[in-house]
Amino acid sequence: MSTTEATRGQLVRAVVASTVGTSIEWYDYFLYGSAGALALNQVFLPQKNALAGTLEIYASFFVGFLARPIGGAIFGHFGDRIGRKATLIATLLLMGIATFLIGVLPGYATIGIWGFVILNLLRVCQGLGVGGEWGGSVILSLEWGSRGRRGWIASWPQFGVPVGLLLSSAVLALMLGVISPGAAFVAWGWRVPFLLSIVLVAIGLYIRLGILETPVFSRILEQHRVEPAPFLEAWRLHWREIILSAFLRLPEQAPFYILTVFVVTFGLSVHFDRAFIQNAVLVAAAVELFAVPFFGHLSDRIGRKRMYLIGAGVMGVWGFVYFGLYSLAIPVLAFIVIAVSLLPHAMQYGPQAALIAENMTGRVRYSAASLGYQLASIIAGGPSPFIATAIWAGTRNPYAIGAYILLCAVLGFIATVLISDRSRADITVEYDDQAQPAKTTTITA
CA distance 423 to 293: 16
Position 58 scores a pLDDT of 67
What would be the CATH architecture of the domain defined by 7-214+237-433? Up-down Bundle (1.20)
Tell me, what DSSP letter sits at residue 149? G
The full set of domain ranges for the chain reads 7-214+237-433
Greater model confidence, 51 or 432: 432
Measuring CA to CA, how many Å separate 72 from each of 133, 134, 230, 306, 371? 8, 8, 12, 27, 6
Position 345 scores a pLDDT of 96
User: What is the per-residue pLDDT across 32-53, written as a single tens digit (0 to 9) for each?
Assistant: 766 766 777 778 877 766 666 6
Greater model confidence, 192 or 401: 401
Helices (H), 143-190: 150-178, 183-184
Position 233 scores a pLDDT of 94
Instruction: State residue 227 phi and psi, 5-degree precision.
Output: -75, 135
What mean pLDDT is predicted for residues 264-269? 82
- Across 101-105, 195-199, 402-406, 431-435, least confident range: 431-435
Contacts of 77 (CB under 8 A, 6+ apart): 229, 230, 231, 367
What mean pLDDT is predicted for residues 221-232? 91
Position 445 scores a pLDDT of 39
